[in-house]
Amino acid sequence: MKISADTATCIGAGQCALVAGDLFDQDDDGIVVLLGDEPAESQYVIARRAASLCPARAITITESA
Ligand code: SF4
């Protein structure tokens, strides 16, 4: 799995950092900071949840084949 976060689309809602604090943080302006783009398998569920909760659809999950 690969995660990408589009800081240009992010509106700083903070849902990602709230549900997946190990994967996402926010900078001083509230904009998403990706802490790791290749999560451990144990983090897949929470990564998908963060992506689905983002109101700006700024988080993209690419599932590996
Ligand atoms: S949930 Fe989406 S809009 Fe909110 S901080 Fe995270 S990436 Fe940005």
At 23-40, the pLDDT tens digits run 999 999 999 999 999 999
Q: What is the pTM of this model?
A: 0.94
d(CA 58, ligand 1 centre) in Å: 6
* Residue whose entry in the numeric block shows the structure tokens 């900071």: 33
| CATH of region 2-62 | 3.30.70.20
Distance of alpha carbon 39 from alpha carbon 50, whole angstroms: 13
Total H helices, total E strands in the chain: 2, 4
The SS3 call for residue 47 is helix
d(CA 55, ligand 1 centre) in Å: 7
Q: Is 5 a pocket residue for ligand 1 (Cβ < 6 Å)?
A: yes
- Is the confidence at residue 65, as pLDDT, over 70? no
Helix residue spans in 1-65 (DSSP H)? 15-19, 44-53
Q: Where are the domains of the chain?
A: 2-62
d(CA 62, ligand 1 centre) in Å: 17
